[in-house]
Chain A
Amino acid sequence: MIGIRTVRNKLLLVVLATNAAALSITAVLMVAYDLHTFRETLQNDLSAQADVLGLAAGPALEFDDPEAAKEYLELLRAKPIIHSAAIYTSKGAVFATYSGTADAHTEFPKIPESDSYQIRGGEVVLSKRIVSNNEILGTVYFSAAYEPNRRLRDYLGILGLVLAGSLAATVLMFLRIQNTVTGPILDVTAVARRVMEERDFSLRARKTTHDEVGVLVDAFNSMLSEIGNRTTTLEQSNRELQREIAEREGAVRARDRSERRIRTLVSAITKVVWVADWRGHITEESSSWQTYTGQRFEQYRDAGWLQAFDEQGRKEVELAWAHAANVPATFELELRLWHAVTERHHYVRLRAVPVIDQDGGVAEWIGAVQDIEDRRVLEQSLRTLNTELEQRVADRTSQLQEANKDLETFSYSVSHDLRAPIRAIGGFCTLLVQDHAAQLDAEARRKFGVIQSEAARMGVLIDDLLAFSRLGRKALQATALDMRELANKAYAQLTRDQPDRKVEFRLGSLPTANGDRSLFEQVWVNLLSNAVKFSSKKENATIEVGAISEEREHVYFVRDNGAGFDPRYGKNLFGVFQRLHGNDEFPGTGVGLALVHRIVTRHGGRIWADSKLGEGATFHFTVPKESSGGAV
Chain B
Amino acid sequence: MEQFEEVGILLVEDNTFDAELTIRSFKDQKLANSVTWVKDGEEALDYVFRRGAYAQRTGSDPRLILLDLKMPRVGGIEVTRELKSNELTKHIPIVIMTSSNEESDIAVCYKLGANSYIVKPLDFTSLAEVARQAGYYWLAVNRGPM
Contact = CB atoms under 8 A, between A and B. Distances in A.
The answer on direct contact between A and B (beta carbons under 8 Å) is: yes
List the 10 closest pairs (A to B, CB-CB), nearest first. Answer: A427-B124, A424-B17, A459-B122, A427-B21, A430-B124, A426-B123, A419-B99, A420-B15, A426-B124, A456-B123
B14 to A, nearest CB: 10
A430 B21 CA distance: 10
Contacts of B127: 423, 427
Contacts of A419: 99, 120, 122
Interface residues of A, number: 19
B24 interface: yes
Contacts of B100: 416
B125 interface: yes
B24 A420 contact: no
Nearest to A413: B70
A42 interface: no
A422 interface: yes
A460 B122 contact: yes
A466 B99 CA distance: 11
B6 interface: no
A430 B99 contact: no
A428 interface: yes
A419 B127 CA distance: 13
Contact of A430 (B17, B120, B125): B125
A610 to B, nearest CB: 34
Interface of B: 15, 17-18, 20-21, 24, 99-101, 120, 122-125, 127
Contacts of B21: 423-424, 427-428, 431
Contacts of B17: 420-421, 423-424, 427-428
Given A419-B122, A422-B122, A430-B125, 14 more contacts: A416-B100, A420-B15, A420-B18, A423-B17, A423-B123, A423-B127, A424-B21, A427-B21, A427-B124, A428-B21, A428-B124, A431-B124, A456-B123, A459-B122
A416 B123 contact: no
Contacts of A424: 15, 17-18, 21
Nearest to B24: A431
A556 B21 CA distance: 45
Contacts of B99: 416, 419-420
Contacts of A426: 122-124
B68 to A, nearest CB: 10
A302 interface: no
Nearest to A466: B101
Interface string A466-483: 100010000000000000
